[in-house]
Amino acid sequence: MYRICKSFTIESGHMLLKHPGLCRFPHGHSRTVTVVLASAALDEQDMVCDFKTIKLALGAFLASFDHAMAMNSADPMVKNLEAMKQRLVLFENTDPTTEVLAERIFRFLQGELRSGRTYTDDRGLTYRFPAGLVLERVRVTETDSTWAEFSPD
C-alpha cells in the first residue's frame, strides 16, 4: 500500500457540557487536522492522490470550524450565542470532543471520496479523487501532547 498524509491547521473553540471540570467553559485550541489516505496502486500521475484534491475537498468544511465555537446542541448557553450563528457549530446532543470532531471530519471526507465529485481550483484546473482510494484515518490534535483519531475499524 502507498499512503499519503495531508495536514491542516484551524483555530477552534469548544465547550464540553458533560465535562465535570474546566473544559465545560469556553476555551480554544490550535488544532492540526491530519488525514491519511491509501491506495494499492498509483494513479496516472504516479500519485496516491494529488494533495490539491484533498485541500479542495476539505477546505470549506474545515473553514466552518476555524475561529468558531463548537457546542453540544443541548447546552443551555447555545441560546445566548445564537447571534453568532455564522461561527457557531452545533453537535446534536453530543459534546464536540476532539474524538467527535475527528469522526465528523472523517465521515465528511469519506462522503466526498464516494461522491465522484470534481473540484475546480481558482485557476480553473480540475481535480478528482482516483478510484480505489481509501481514507484510513483522521487525526485531530488538541494540544502539543494530545490528539484523537478516528478510523472505521
The predicted structure's pLDDT at residue 86:
79
Which mean pLDDT values do the consecutive 10-residue runs of the chain (153 residues) have?
98 95 94 98 95 97 96 93 84 97 98 96 97 97 96 89
Average pLDDT, the chain: 95
113's grid cell: 471520496
pLDDT at 22: 95
Q: What pLDDT was estimated at residue 132? A: 93
Domain map (residue ranges) of the chain: 2-150
Using alpha carbons, select from 65, 127, 137 the residue that is nearest to residue 107: 137
Measured CA angle at 103 (ends 76, 73), to 5 deg: 10
What is the pTM assigned to this prediction? 0.94
The class that CATH gives domain 2-150 is alpha beta
Alpha helices in the chain (DSSP H): 51-63, 78-81, 98-115
Q: pLDDT value at position 40?
A: 97
